[in-house]
Amino acid sequence: MKLLDVGSIYKGFEYPKEFLKIVHLGLTDFDFWYLMDYEQAVWRIKGLQERYPDRKLVPFARRGDNDDIVCFDIDRGGRVQKIHDFASAGWEQRKDYESFWDWFREAIDEMIEEGECDEI
């Protein structure tokens, strides 16, 4: 999976090693959530800069059934933010996670909980 070179947009940014491990393992689709590929990330980061110019967000995953995305927040030490994209500025924030793993656990838990009701 090709990743966006965010360091060219936000100097010094590096993806957290936890995120890179998930990408390396090919874990990209968690039923409701999936990691954004290069083209999706380029489109989203440009849009985020226009919609929320006071924030420095690096999108990496989106939910398939609504406009929620998750981003690394450069101004908050790389914490992960759940954003309801396309909401008016000031109303976009949904949840703040201390780390990538905190968001990842929640995404996996959602997949498990909802999957118990699904038939394959």
Amino acid at 83: I
Only one residue has tokens 């995305």, namely 69
Only one residue has tokens 């998930």, namely 22
- For the question of whether the overall pTM of this predicted structure is more than 0.85, the answer is yes
The residues near 22 (Cβ < 8 Å, ≥ 6 apart) are 28, 35, 104
Kindly report, residue by residue over 2-50, the tens digit of the pLDDT: 998 998 899 989 999 999 999 999 999 999 999 999 999 999 999 999 9
Only one residue has tokens 């990209």, namely 28
User: For residue 32, which of 86, 82, 76 has the smallest C-alpha distance?
Assistant: 82
CA-based diameter of the chain, in Å?
A: 46
Domain ranges in the chain are: 31-111
